[in-house]
């Protein structure tokens, strides 16, 4: 029984020694620390990508609403065709420049000119 315990401790010590040697030779600790650092650097980029995807989907929905909005469609057509539909007549109303002059100001009550 005593011999089994000694063998168990020897095998356990050898296993721990081999594990430690493997960790050192393969540089697993340094690799893991590098992995954690790269994960921390990637996290803000992931958040930014998510925000950009959300903004893109909002803009796509807004653009789709503009395509389906008859007022926006007509505004686009009027811009392209210089503000006139086919067969539409445009009347321009201009004021007479003589009417646009302001009348002379009346003096306040009780003041003689």
Q: What is the pLDDT of residue 73?
A: 78
Residue 107 has pLDDT above 70, yes or no: no
Q: Cα dist. 66→52, 53, 81 in Å?
A: 21, 20, 19
**Residue 113 CA to chain centroid, in angstroms?**
68
Higher pLDDT, 15 or 76: 15
pLDDT at 112: 61
- The reported pLDDT for the residue numbered 100 is 65
pTM surpassing 0.75?
Answer: no
Digit-coded pLDDT (tens) for 48-85:
999 999 999 999 988 887 778 888 777 777 777 666 66
């Amino acid at each position: 029984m005593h011999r089994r315990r000694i063998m168990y401790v020897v095998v356990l010590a050898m296993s721990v020694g081999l594990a430690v040697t493997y960790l050192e030779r393969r540089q697993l600790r340094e690799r893991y620390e590098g992995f954690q650092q790269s994960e921390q650097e990637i996290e803000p980029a992931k958040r930014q990508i998510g925000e950009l995807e959300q903004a893109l989907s909002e803009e796509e929905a807004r653009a789709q609403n503009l395509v389906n909005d008859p007022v926006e469609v007509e505004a686009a057509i009027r811009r392209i065709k210089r503000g006139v539909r086919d067969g539409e007549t445009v009347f321009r109303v201009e004021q007479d420049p003589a009417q646009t002059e302001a009348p002379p100001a009346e003096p306040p009550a009780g003041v003689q000119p």
